[in-house]
Every structure is written in structure tokens, then in C-alpha cells.
Amino acid sequence: MQNKAQTKEKVSFFRKPAIQSIISSLICILGGLLVGFLVLFFMAVFSKDIPISEAFRGLKIVLSGPAAAGNPRDILFTCGNMLFTATPLIMTGLSVSLAFKTGLFNIGAPGQYLMGAMGSLLVALSIPQGSMPAWVIWTLALLTGTLLGVVWGAIPGFFKAKFNVNEVIVCILTNWIAANVVSWVFYANQQQFVNIAETKTNFIRKTISNGVSTATFGLDKLFAGSYLDVSIIIVSVIAVLLYVMLNKTTFGYELKACGFNRNAAKYAGMNEKRNIMLSMALAGGLAACGAALWCLNGQQDFKWNTYQALPNVGFNGIPAALLASNNPIAVIFSAIFLRYIDTGGSYLAGATKFNEYVPQLIIAVIIYFAGFSKFIRDFLNKRGKKKEKPAPAFAVDETVNAPKTQTPPEPAAEDAPEPAQTTGKDGDDQ
């Protein structure tokens, strides 16, 4: 729709919203890397053991991502695993960005993720192998997990819509409820789901033990025996579908209208309460689907006592969404990027004299900077706007005052309703 617009009215390259989003994300990433480097640098400066050159080497390793693995085969293997671990992150990123589009902050992705994991594992491990084809079990497990996430997401949506309870609070509560429910369910059924002989302590059996695993279509072999399976493709398709849904359908139009301006949506006769619930339910389903895809890979361990910590991948959906400016297709890339840095970081401790906490710190800094992407986008936008001019409010024909000189267009600072422009006087617009 935006593209069609530009055929008629030329918008300067840097004013295109998509370009601005990309630029702002890049600035965030660069900023994060710079600060990350400074951390390395000063650690090297203040430490007797670490020469300063190590800081540059560290940055290089973080930047090289999977390439830090060394020989080609290892790089391929690492790449495959990077893509595989990006899969659930893409889904939680999509979850968060969908909610953002509707004006909601889905900080409940970890809880929804846990419920998805639980649902899929319960089904995948409890239907006896051979009683039905494995792909049926796989599908049932995926659907069950997703459905549980839908329910889990709908809870904050319901409270928001009906009682106007802040969704953040309810999300945080449902996160910990989910953590305890999941722990409790698996604790009560340890006999069935944990095979002490086969698995590490505190971990649920892998679904492959019941013959259930995601099809790989040779992707695992292609990437030198990594975990990669077809889920990365499923996830990418979901992202594209979500993009189309948001931008081309009446449903997406309604969701976004509710997000931008709930009152106007109500005025226009949209059922804004229903839309809020649907949006949260869908967001929950997305996060849970990501978890189910992860678990159903077949080779993954799931730690049953989750009451101790919420899964990071749920929270990391937030920076993935922010870096992508909530664009579903861009989420694919932002999530992969976050995993890329993570992968590079994981080699840092082994290859340099920095300890294993340093890469985590650098990643945290980059994620932190991701939060600024909207700020930077607004800044770019404001700068761009100063140079543009809104059209005059009304036609004025110059019949009274004869000389038809070239009248100056309307000044930009006047009358444009954007508060950032004229109310800067008190510096109160942030």
C-alpha cells in the first residue's frame, strides 16, 4: 500500500517509514556494538592479564558470529543451530510485535511459551508410539501447545478488555502462574515423563524417545548435522502471513486501529474489546507455537522445574520486536541477528582471555539499545519533518489584493498538530 503511494507522490528516500526503521535499527545495533566494545576495551585496560589487542579480537569474534567456529564444517553446523535457536525467538518476537501493533505490551510471552512447551510435550510423550502415525501425534502436539498459549494470552486480554486492568501486570502474574503450573504438572508425572536413566536430572524426555520429531527435509544434513529442521520455514511463512494479515485485511486494519486509537475504533463501530482479546490470544498462540516447534524438534531437553526461572527466549522476543519496528517480516531478521551475536559471543570466552560473562554483557547492551529504536525513529522523523511543509489549510483566492506574487507556502511550524513541533518551548514533549 505504501509502495503504491509513492508512484503518485514522490517521498524522499529517507522519509520512507521503512527506510527510517531500518536506519534506526542499524543505529541501535552500532550503538550497542560500540558500547560493547568499550566494555571489552576498558576491561582490557584495567586488567593486568588482558592485553588491549584482546579487545579488538573480542569484537571481531562477536561480529563474526558462527564464523568464529573455525573450520567450514563447524561453521555450517553452528549456522544451522543458530537458525534453529532463532526459530522460537522469531515466534516470541512476532508475538510481542503483534500485541504492540494493537497497542498492547505482551510481556507474557515467557508464560505463553511455557504453556506451549507443556502442551506439546504432554501430547507428544503421552500418546504411545505406534498407536497412530507420528506425524499425527506431532500435529496434535503442536496444536495443543498453541491452543494452550492462546488461552494463556487471552487471560490478560480478557482482563484488559473487560476491566481495563493493565495487561503488563496480568502478564507478569500469568508468567509465574505458568511457571508453577508447568513445574507442578511435570513434577506430579515424573514417572511418565522423566526417564532418569536416559535423561539428565530435572529434564523431560526428548520427544524423539516417543518417535516424535519435526521433519527436517535434509536441513540437518545440509547444515552438517545440526538440529535445524523445517520449523524455520514454518516460522517464516507464519511471519509473512502475519504481515499480510496486519496490512492487507480488514481484521488487521481493525487491530491496528484499536492499537493506535482505541476511542476512534470505538467511535467507528469496531468492537475494540473483542479486538484486544483476539490480539492477545493470537500473540499467546504465536509464542506457544514457537515453544512447541522447539520441543517437537525431538532432540531438545526441557527443564521441568521452570518455577525457578522464566525462559529467556520469551523476554528476548521484546528486543526482537523492537529492533524490527514491529514489522513481522523484519522480526525474522532481527531474531536471527540476535542469535548471531549470541553465537559469536559464545566463542568469546574460549578464544580470548575474557570470561564467559562478558559476551552476555555485550548482548545485553545491544538488546538494551534495541529499546531505543523507536526513539531514534521518532528523532529521524522529526528531523525530516522540519524540512517538509504541510499544505495550506484552505484555498485563498487573491481577489482583494491584486498583485499575484508568489505566495510562500505555509510554514512548517504552524498548525501541524504534532505536539513535538511547537510545544518544544518547555521541553515537555517527552
Partner 1 sequence: MENTTIHPEQPPGQADYPYVIEMLNITKEFPGIIANDDITLQLKRGEIHALLGENGAGKSTLMSVLFGLYQPEKGKILKDGKEVTINNPNDANALGIGMVHQHFKLVDVFSVLDNIILGIEPNTLGFLQKKEARKKVLQLSESYGLNVDPDALVEDITVGMQQRTEILKMLYRENEILIFDEPTAVLTPQEITELMQIMKGLAAEGKSILFISHKLNEIMEVADRCTVLRKGKYVGTVNVADVTKEDLSAMMVGRNVKFAVDKTPAIPGETILEVEHLTVKSKLHKKNAVSDVSLTVRAGEIVCIAGIDGNGQSEFVSAITGLEKAEPGSKIILCGEDVTKKSIRYKNTHGMSHIPEDRHKHGLVLDYTLQENIVLQRYFEKEFRKSGFIRFDKVREYADYLIEKFDVRSGQGAVTLARSMSGGNQQKAIIARELDREHKLLVAVQPTRGLDVGAIEFVHEQIVATRDAGSAVLLISLELDEVMNLSDRILVMYEGEIVGEFDPKETTVEELGLYMAGAKRQEKKEGGEENAE
Q: How far apart are CA 137 and CA 351, in angstroms?
A: 43
Q: Does 261 bind partner 1 (CB under 8 A)?
A: yes
Shortest gap between Cβ of 414 and partner 1 (angstroms)?
5
**The three three-digit cell numbers of residue 78, written as one number:** 553452528
Q: Does 391 bind partner 1 (CB under 8 A)?
A: yes
Report whether 162 contacts 129 (CB < 8 A).
Answer: no
Burial 181-197 (b: 16+ CB within 10 A, else e): bbbeebeeeeeebbeee
- 197 versus 391: smaller Cβ distance to partner 1: 391
Instruction: Output Rg (C-alpha) for the chain, integer angstroms.
Output: 25
Report whether 110 contacts 182 (CB < 8 A).
Answer: no
Q: Does 197 bind partner 1 (CB under 8 A)?
A: no
- 199 versus 271: smaller Cβ distance to partner 1: 271
Q: Closest Cα partner for 77 from 358, 343, 349, 356?
A: 343
Shortest gap between Cβ of 255 and partner 1 (angstroms)?
12
- 233 versus 413: smaller Cβ distance to partner 1: 413
Mode of pairing for the β-strands spanning 302-303 and 203-204: antiparallel
- 8 versus 200: smaller Cβ distance to partner 1: 8
Q: How far apart are CA 175 and CA 276, in angstroms?
A: 19
- 217 versus 267: smaller Cβ distance to partner 1: 267
DSSP string over 287-339: HHHHHHHHHHTSS--EES-GGG---HHHHHHHHHHHHTTT-HHHHHHHHHHHH
Q: Which member of 270, 313, 318, 358 binds partner 1 (CB under 8 A)? A: 270
- 197 versus 396: smaller Cβ distance to partner 1: 396
Q: Which member of 71, 131, 201, 250 binds partner 1 (CB under 8 A)? A: 250
Q: Closest Cα partner for 20 from 428, 385, 369?
A: 385
Q: Does 5 bind partner 1 (CB under 8 A)?
A: yes
Q: How far apart are CA 311 and CA 333, in angstroms?
A: 21
Q: Does 416 bind partner 1 (CB under 8 A)?
A: yes
Q: Does 8 bind partner 1 (CB under 8 A)?
A: yes
Size of the site for partner 1 (CB under 8 A): 62
- 250 versus 308: smaller Cβ distance to partner 1: 250
Of 28-36, 105-113, 232-240, 268-276: span binding partner 1 (CB under 8 A): 268-276
Shortest gap between Cβ of 99 and partner 1 (angstroms)?
16
**The three three-digit cell numbers of residue 295, written as one number:** 520441543
Shortest gap between Cβ of 390 and partner 1 (angstroms)?
5
Shortest gap between Cβ of 47 and partner 1 (angstroms)?
42
Q: Which member of 73, 162, 248, 274 binds partner 1 (CB under 8 A)? A: 248
Please list, in sequence order, all residues whose beta carbon lies within 8 angstroms of the beta carbon of residue 317, skipping any fewer than 6 positions away. 89, 91, 92, 93, 94, 95, 96, 109, 287
Shortest gap between Cβ of 84 and partner 1 (angstroms)?
33
- 130 versus 411: smaller Cβ distance to partner 1: 411
- 357 versus 427: smaller Cβ distance to partner 1: 427
Q: How far apart are CA 251 and CA 56, in angstroms?
A: 50
Shortest gap between Cβ of 354 and partner 1 (angstroms)?
44
Q: How far apart are CA 241 and CA 247, in angstroms?
A: 10
In the region spanning residues 371 to 390, those forming contacts with partner 1, defined by CB under 8 A, are: 385-390
The pair phi, psi for residue 204, each rounded to 5°, is -80, 150
Q: Does 143 bind partner 1 (CB under 8 A)?
A: no
> CA angle, 11 as apex, 10 and 12 as ends, to 5°?
115
Q: Using CB under 8 A as the criterion, which residues of the chain lie in contact with partner 1 when the complex forms?
A: 1-2, 4-5, 8-9, 11, 248-251, 253-254, 256-257, 260-261, 263-271, 385-401, 403, 407-418, 422-426, 428
